[in-house]
Chain A
Amino acid sequence: MLVLVSYDVSFENPDGKRRLQKIAKICENYGQRVQYSVFECVVDPAQWAQLRHRLLDAYDEEVDSLRFYFLGKNWQRRVEQHGAGEAYDPETDVLIL
């Protein structure tokens, strides 16, 4: 299934930058960056539980925000891309480099 993860990390306290990097790193391990703080993660339920747990561990609930959008199994029909930026479909695209 595809889960869209987006986040907003506050820089108010000096710890913000580190949290931002940590959250970005976690997301990178599970999916692809489609915009600055938006990730598309194709995961199975177990991987999703892991990813969610790690993210909730890393953010600061007082000042940061995390949003998860569940696009399900047939997500291909539900996503449109316009303009700059190139994303791949990890399930069906032919990965040749």
Chain B
Amino acid sequence: MKKLLNTLYVTSQGTYLSKDGECVVIRAENGQKKRFPVHVLDGIVCFGNVLCSPFLLGHCGEKGLALSFMTERGRYLAGVRGPQSGNVLLRREQYRQADDPVASADIARSVIAGKVVNSRAVLRRCLRDHGDRVDAGMLERAVCTLDECARRLQTPVSLDEARGMEGQAAGAYFAVFGQMVLQDEEAFSFDGRNRRPPLDAVNCLLSFVYTLLAHDVRSALEAVGLDPQVGFLHRDRPGRPGLALDVMEEFRSFMADRLVLSLINRGEVRARGFVTKESGAVFMDDDTRKTVLTAWQKRKQDEAMHPFLRERIPLGLAFHVQAQLIARSIRGDLDGYPPYYWK
């Protein structure tokens, strides 16, 4: 079984990463120097002005480390991959199925079913824990809508119908999402998703955590030899990791959304940790970003029962397991793609 390895996040500006033997050496502007052996890591994420030597890039490619560059705010800029590896036959089959509307609809349906069921579980968890502090009627109505969607997704649907279900479910879910913010409701008010740029603190947190999730899912897909660009639910668009977005859907609500909610509700992020620019865009400061990164890393170490494997695994490994499962269903070794249902 694969081991959950650590991810290195570099947020200090002006740092230089280089390779020395089998190690990453990190030199900060103030002369501080740190080193980590490459084999304890499975990815490096650089924020803002961070430089990497070409030899380090090559070494990461060779060892299968995912290396991503983001802006300081967490928008994805570029990723570096080594020589293309993995199974070309699997990738070809992936492309064939992505071109086939029936096969695509099947995988898209599983992915959305996973998303809907997990979103519903998040709402139900909130009702159970804080039923007295939220508008229970509204939340219950949203749960009903999601139930309805989940039921309709049990039988085969066309790709467009599947997308319609997703839209309906997401609409119902985000309509009540703001209800689940229980701390400092004024500063963390939420009415609907917005991004590029995010216009409030909650959207800012959500977008940031989604990019972290995307990095991890993408590297898991690459590790099993799939092409993260070619999705089934998300159609091809240059520069968009379609398949990574597909697989992310299942994880968004319980990994990312709940993380954001608990950071706010436990008071770990505060209103003063956010800056509003003249354009209306909201950004977080360095300390808040570190808090979020720490929480994300900890979240990945939480263990849960995998619904398909029936084995307890860290959530961070669940990305890799789902990547394996989707590869197997593309190969035809499984009858369908079993999404990750969170309990």
Q: Which residues of A contact B (CB under 8 A)?
A: 25, 28-32, 41-44, 47, 90-97
- A43 vs B37: C-alpha distance when bound (angstroms): 10
The answer to whether the Cβ of B183 comes within 8 Å of any Cβ in the partner chain is no
Q: A30-B37, A32-B37, A94-B298 are in contact. List 16 more A-B contacts (CB 8 A).
A: A28-B20, A28-B21, A30-B22, A32-B35, A32-B36, A41-B37, A44-B3, A91-B40, A92-B6, A92-B301, A94-B9, A94-B294, A96-B11, A96-B290, A97-B12, A97-B15
Give 19 pairs: A residue, B residue, CB < 8 Å, sorted on A: A28-B35, A28-B37, A29-B23, A90-B6, A90-B37, A91-B6, A91-B40, A92-B301, A93-B6, A94-B294, A94-B297, A95-B6, A95-B9, A95-B41, A96-B10, A96-B11, A96-B293, A96-B294, A97-B8
- Known interface pairs A47-B39, A90-B40. Does A97 touch B21 (Cβ–Cβ under 8 Å)? no
- A93 vs B5: C-alpha distance when bound (angstroms): 11
How many chain B residues touch A (Cβ–Cβ < 8 Å)?
28
Contact B21 A96 (CB under 8 A): no
Contact A94 B293 (CB under 8 A): yes
* Least CB distance, A95 to chain B, in whole angstroms: 4
Contact B39 A97 (CB under 8 A): no
- Known interface pairs A30-B39, A43-B39, A90-B36. Does A95 touch B7 (Cβ–Cβ under 8 Å)? yes
Could you say which residues of chain A place their CB within 8 Å of the CB of B22? 29-30
Could you say which residues of chain A place their CB within 8 Å of the CB of B7? 95
* Least CB distance, A80 to chain B, in whole angstroms: 21
Interface string of B50-93 (1 = CB under 8 A from A): 00000000000000000000000000000000000000000000
* Least CB distance, B43 to chain A, in whole angstroms: 10
Contact A97 B298 (CB under 8 A): no
- A43 vs B38: C-alpha distance when bound (angstroms): 11
* Least CB distance, A5 to chain B, in whole angstroms: 13
- A44 vs B3: C-alpha distance when bound (angstroms): 10
* Least CB distance, B216 to chain A, in whole angstroms: 14
* Least CB distance, A68 to chain B, in whole angstroms: 17
- A47 vs B22: C-alpha distance when bound (angstroms): 12
Q: Which residue of A lies closest to B290 (CB)?
A: A96
Could you say which residues of chain B place their CB within 8 Å of the CB of A25? 21
Could you say which residues of chain B place their CB within 8 Å of the CB of A91? 6, 40
Could you say which residues of chain B place their CB within 8 Å of the CB of A31? 37
Residue from B20, B26, B40 within 8 A of A42 (CB atoms) = B40
Could you say which residues of chain A place their CB within 8 Å of the CB of B39? 30, 43, 47
Q: Which residue of B lies closest to A95 (CB)?
A: B8
- A28 vs B40: C-alpha distance when bound (angstroms): 12
The 9 closest A-B pairs by CB, nearest first: A29-B22, A90-B40, A94-B297, A95-B8, A29-B21, A96-B9, A94-B294, A97-B10, A96-B293
- A92 vs B45: C-alpha distance when bound (angstroms): 17
- Most chain A CB atoms below 10 A, which of B23, B36, B39: B39
Could you say which residues of chain B place their CB within 8 Å of the CB of A92? 6, 301
Residue from B20, B26, B40, B41 within 8 A of A97 (CB atoms) = B26
Interface string of B13-48 (1 = CB under 8 A from A): 001000011110010100000111101110000000
Q: Which residues of chain B (280-295) have a CB below 8 Å from chain A?
A: 290, 293-294
Q: Which residue of A lies closest to B293 (CB)?
A: A96
Could you say which residues of chain B place their CB within 8 Å of the CB of A94? 9, 293-294, 297-298
Could you say which residues of chain A place their CB within 8 Å of the CB of B35? 28, 32
Contact A97 B297 (CB under 8 A): no
Could you say which residues of chain B place their CB within 8 Å of the CB of A93? 6
- A90 vs B39: C-alpha distance when bound (angstroms): 10
* Least CB distance, A32 to chain B, in whole angstroms: 8
Residue from A28, A42, A96 within 8 A of B23 (CB atoms) = A28
- A31 vs B40: C-alpha distance when bound (angstroms): 9
Could you say which residues of chain B place their CB within 8 Å of the CB of A28? 20-21, 23, 35, 37
Interface string of B180-205 (1 = CB under 8 A from A): 00000000000000000000000000
- A29 vs B40: C-alpha distance when bound (angstroms): 11
- A90 vs B23: C-alpha distance when bound (angstroms): 13
